[in-house]
Amino acid sequence: MKALKWVIIILAIIVALAAVIGFMLPRYVHVERSKSIKGDQVTIFNLISSPQEFQKWSPWRQLDTSAAVSFFGPPAGKGAGFTWTSADPDVSYGTWTIVEAHAPAHVAVDLRWENMDASKVGFLLSPEADGTLVKWTMDADMGWGPFGRFIGLMMEGFLAPDYEKGLRNLDSVVTTMPKGHVAKIEILDFPGGYFLGITDTANIAEIGNVLGPLYGEVMAHMQKNNIRMSGAPISVYQSYDVHSGITILQAGMPVMKRENGSGRVGCFELHRGTVIAADFYGPYKDLPSAYRAIQDFAQANGKKLIGSPWESYMTDPGMQTDPEKVLTQVYWPTE
């Protein structure tokens, strides 16, 4: 009995020491990994801010490709997310919810794994000379209990390899994406014209989600008033703030003559005169290369770019599944 008493005392001392040490351990845990990726901020931001796109490079998705994934909220940005359930204990179940999305530089996520409190996951994107620096972080409050704080000591070892793998996956996805190219660039005398459109603002990284509803609203007005379109959908870019990524644009449909608008739909006039025009084939994410080509062409030919450039979407992406065959014509007035 005396020996048992000492065993109990020793165990009690060990437990007490463990508790004391646990209380002395850090309550807050931070894990961080970074990687330079040869891709633009907008492309990478879109791969992070969309839960569907995240599946393409998630380090955990590859652990169990049969895991049940259910998406909720909008397609991308704040409020978008997904839940997952897996029989693999390393994957288990949880929820991924985007709580902030500031294109093209920052995405914040609430990550809930099993019944644990939410961890704060962040992605910070910074431009570099030849690409983008992507920083992936995780911050968690391990609580007051010593057991949680002991778990916190192991978070670096648990998460860091997955973060490193995920960033390598992201780099692979970005570098193997289809690339666009300018097939033709020339100086033209543009005859001008009219289009029915809507003026709006949008973040350039989310432009695809904005244009669709605007075109739908314009088409509804045209159908109601028996107005025929005379060309492919266009978008005119009146201004662009490089710091915020916000552009003021007019999205619309060309028409044969001046027509009456209603509500948000107005009739606008396209530039008449000299323009530099470029035929660009490829995904919309690579369109900035067409603008750079026009700027270089203008400088080489002693031309000054003026006014608002516009894009004409000649190919219906719903009909052409190969993004490298999608034609967008870019026009920029010049003098």
Confirm whether 100 is domain-assigned: yes
Residue 54 shares a structural domain with residue 94 = yes
Residue 105 shares a structural domain with residue 221 = no
Confirm whether 84 is domain-assigned: yes
Last residue of a domain, one of 131, 153, 175: 175
Confirm whether 200 is domain-assigned: yes
Assign residue 243 the CATH number of its domain: 3.20.80.10
* Total-model pTM: 0.62
> For every one of its 335 residues, what pLDDT tens digit does the chain have, with 9 covering 90 and above?
444 444 444 444 444 444 444 444 456 788 889 999 988 887 898 899 999 999 999 998 888 888 999 999 988 889 999 999 998 888 889 999 999 988 788 999 999 988 777 889 999 999 898 889 999 998 877 555 555 544 545 566 678 899 999 999 999 999 888 778 888 899 999 999 999 999 999 988 788 889 999 999 999 999 999 999 999 999 999 998 877 889 999 999 999 999 999 999 999 999 999 999 999 999 888 888 899 889 989 988 889 999 999 999 999 877 888 888 999 999 999 99
Residue 49 shares a structural domain with residue 117 = yes
Confirm whether 324 is domain-assigned: yes
Residue 213 shares a structural domain with residue 301 = yes
Rounded to whole angstroms, the Cα distance separating 217 from 228 reads 15
Domain with 60, as residue range(s), is: 27-175
Say if residues 254 and 195 touch (Cβ distance below 8 Å): yes
Residue 137 shares a structural domain with residue 209 = no
Cα 168 to Cα 112, 174, 269: the distances in Å are 23, 10, 47
> What's CA 65's distance to the chain center, in Å?
23
Residue 160 shares a structural domain with residue 191 = no
144: how many CB neighbours lie within 10 A of its CB? 10
Last residue of a domain, one of 143, 160, 175: 175
Confirm whether 250 is domain-assigned: yes
Q: Which residues neighbour 95 within 8 Å (Cβ) at sequence distance 6 or greater?
A: 81, 82, 83, 110, 111, 112
Residue 295 shares a structural domain with residue 326 = yes
Residue 188 shares a structural domain with residue 329 = yes
Residue 149 shares a structural domain with residue 186 = no
Strands 273-281 and 181-190, by their bridges, are antiparallel
Residue 256 shares a structural domain with residue 304 = yes
